[in-house]
């Protein structure tokens, strides 16, 4: 089993909050992480119809059957449990890390958490494997485009399951639409929603254009916004908001859209091989998608908010990512494997605009992390570090 970086954050949060929830996209390893971090706790899944009926009929007594706490998988399937957990937490001795919740339907899980457990719960967003995790497990390809093309969902790296990439992604999308999306939209719109996912794959790394998507699919821009929020809530896409750092009033205010996994993006673009990706117009966007995903994973695995934006003014000057962490990092992502001086020009210009505590970085596809003319060029192998 590949040890997850989020392990330490789960331990930290469980030492403070009585409830810990592990959220994330389908098949990101949430249940596996919960069992690994809390092996002493009993595990139950509310996929079991009998357990669902027991928990729903008398949730208080159901929780009392686990005096030492419990891992509850698919917790969102019994909404009554959340008020019962709140009552148990508020009424009894404070016991950090007593209840661990996971679930595959992010909409219902997050809604129940917001309604009942605010202030009582520590949250971890678990995305698919990071480059660092794959490297640590010895499942690290020496070719960056292998990883960009295949993505990093855990089942694709399970040597016992022998999944074929295209078959797995096809099943993943079908399952996602059947089990998650149909509850959120009119069933007659599922095919249009599927088309939206494909169009988003072709627009990863671009500013969101609601009207363009509306015309392409044949639904209103309001509907597009609603559907995109579903994709974001289920960790299929991520919105990078524009940087608001008072550098001037000419800053673009439209978010950028990114897929969370570059492999799923490539599948939806109908790319059949790494070689096709190398010749495709979306190669640069796919590399940038993976880089942004690695930045998100680094923060989420630490149990922190992303604090990740981008900068673009109305004249077209852009920096791919601004990470406001301990320091402010201005990051350009390039699909080049050589440390060309011109690759750092936007980073340097941004540093001149915002000189206080801003550090420039160029993420590139070369194998060596090095410093050139005062700017660090970060190898793809180190993006998550």
pLDDT tens-place string over residues 25-55: 999 999 999 999 999 999 999 989 999 999 9
The total domain count for the chain is 2
CB 343 within 8 A of CB 374: no
Q: 17 with 31, same domain? A: yes
pLDDT at 249: 60
Averaged pLDDT score across all residues of the chain? 93
Quote the percentage of the chain above a pLDDT of 70.
99
Structural domain of 18: 7-125
Query: Where are any strands of DSSP class E within 27-157?
Result: 42-45, 70-73, 99-102, 121-125
What average pLDDT does the segment 6-24 reach?
Answer: 96
Q: How confident is the model at residue 265 (pLDDT cuts 50, 70, 90)?
A: very high
Q: How confident is the model at residue 315 (pLDDT cuts 50, 70, 90)?
A: confident
Q: 210 with 231, same domain? A: yes
pLDDT at 250: 59
Q: How confident is the model at residue 246 (pLDDT cuts 50, 70, 90)?
A: low
Is the pLDDT assigned to residue 313 strictly greater than 70?
Answer: yes
Q: 115 with 138, same domain? A: no
Which two tokens mark 342? 């011109």
**Look-up: residue for tokens 């967003």?**
125
157 in a domain, yes or no? yes
285 in a domain, yes or no? yes
Q: How confident is the model at residue 140 (pLDDT cuts 50, 70, 90)?
A: confident
Is the pLDDT assigned to residue 380 strictly greater than 90?
Answer: yes
Among 49-63, 88-102, 246-260, the range scoring the smallest mean pLDDT is 246-260
Domain stop point among 92, 110, 125 = 125
Q: 202 with 345, same domain? A: yes
pLDDT digits (tens, 9 = 90+) for 69-79: 999 999 988 99
Q: 183 with 289, same domain? A: yes
What average pLDDT does the segment 345-367 reach?
Answer: 92
Is the pLDDT assigned to residue 354 strictly greater than 90?
Answer: no
pLDDT at 248: 61
Residue 185 gets which letter from DSSP?
S
State the pTM of this model.
Answer: 0.94
Q: How far is CA 283 from CA 76, 152, 156, 215, 330, in A?
A: 38, 17, 21, 26, 22
Long-range contacts of 326-331 (CB under 8 A, 24+ apart): 327/357, 327/358, 327/359, 328/354, 328/357, 328/358, 328/359, 329/358, 329/359, 329/360, 329/361, 330/354, 330/358, 330/359, 330/360, 330/361, 331/291, 331/295, 331/361, 331/362, 331/363
Q: How far is CA 64 from CA 69, 70, 87, 120, in A?
A: 9, 10, 12, 19
Q: Which residues pair with 247 in a beta bridge?
A: none
Domain stop point among 72, 103, 125 = 125
**Look-up: residue for tokens 């022998």?**
162
Query: Where are any strands of DSSP class E within the chain?
Result: 19-23, 42-45, 70-73, 99-102, 121-125, 206-207, 237-242, 256-259, 308-312, 318-324, 328-333, 358-364, 370-372, 375-379
223 in a domain, yes or no? yes
């Amino acid at each position: 089993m590949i040890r997850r970086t989020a392990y330490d954050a789960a331990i930290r949060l469980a030492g403070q909050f009585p409830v810990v929830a592990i959220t994330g996209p389908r098949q990101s390893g949430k249940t596996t992480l919960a069992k690994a971090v809390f092996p002493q706790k009993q595990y139950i899944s509310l996929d079991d119809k009998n357990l669902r009926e027991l928990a729903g009929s008398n949730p208080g007594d159901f929780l009392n059957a686990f005096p030492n706490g419990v891992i509850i998988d698919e917790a969102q399937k019994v909404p009554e449990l959340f008020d019962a957990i709140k009552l148990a937490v508020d009424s009894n001795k404070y016991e950090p890390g007593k209840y661990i919740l996971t679930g595959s339907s992010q909409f219902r899980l997050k809604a129940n958490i917001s309604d009942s457990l605010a202030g009582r719960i520590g949250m971890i967003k678990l995305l698919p494997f990071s480059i660092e995790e794959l490297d640590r497990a010895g499942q690290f390809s020496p070719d960056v485009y292998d990883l960009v093309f295949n993505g990093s969902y855990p089942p694709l790296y399970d040597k016992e399951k022998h999944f074929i990439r295209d078959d797995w992604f096809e099943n993943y999308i079908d399952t996602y639409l059947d089990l998650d999306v149909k509850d959120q939209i009119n069933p007659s719109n599922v095919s249009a929603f599927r088309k939206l996912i494909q169009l988003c794959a072709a627009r990863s790394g671009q500013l969101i254009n609601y009207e363009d998507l509306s015309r392409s699919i044949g639904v209103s821009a309001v509907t597009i916004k609603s559907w995109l929020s579903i994709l974001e809530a289920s960790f299929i896409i991520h919105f990078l908001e524009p940087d608001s750092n008072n550098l001037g009033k000419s800053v673009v205010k439209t978010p950028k859209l990114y897929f969370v996994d570059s492999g799923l993006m490539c599948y939806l673009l109908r790319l059949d091989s790494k070689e096709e990706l190398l010749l495709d117009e979306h190669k640069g966007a796919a590399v940038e998608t993976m880089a942004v995903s690695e930045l998100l994973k680094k923060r989420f695995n630490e149990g922190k908010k992303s604090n990740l934006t981008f900068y673009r003014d109305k004249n077209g000057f852009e920096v791919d990512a601004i990470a406001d962490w301990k320091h402010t990092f201005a990051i350009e992502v390039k699909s080049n494997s050589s440390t060309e001086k011109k690759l750092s020009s936007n980073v340097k210009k941004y540093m001149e605009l915002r000189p206080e505590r801003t550090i420039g970085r160029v993420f590139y596809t070369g194998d060596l992390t090095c410093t050139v003319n005062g700017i660090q060029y970060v190898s793809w192998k180190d993006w998550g570090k």
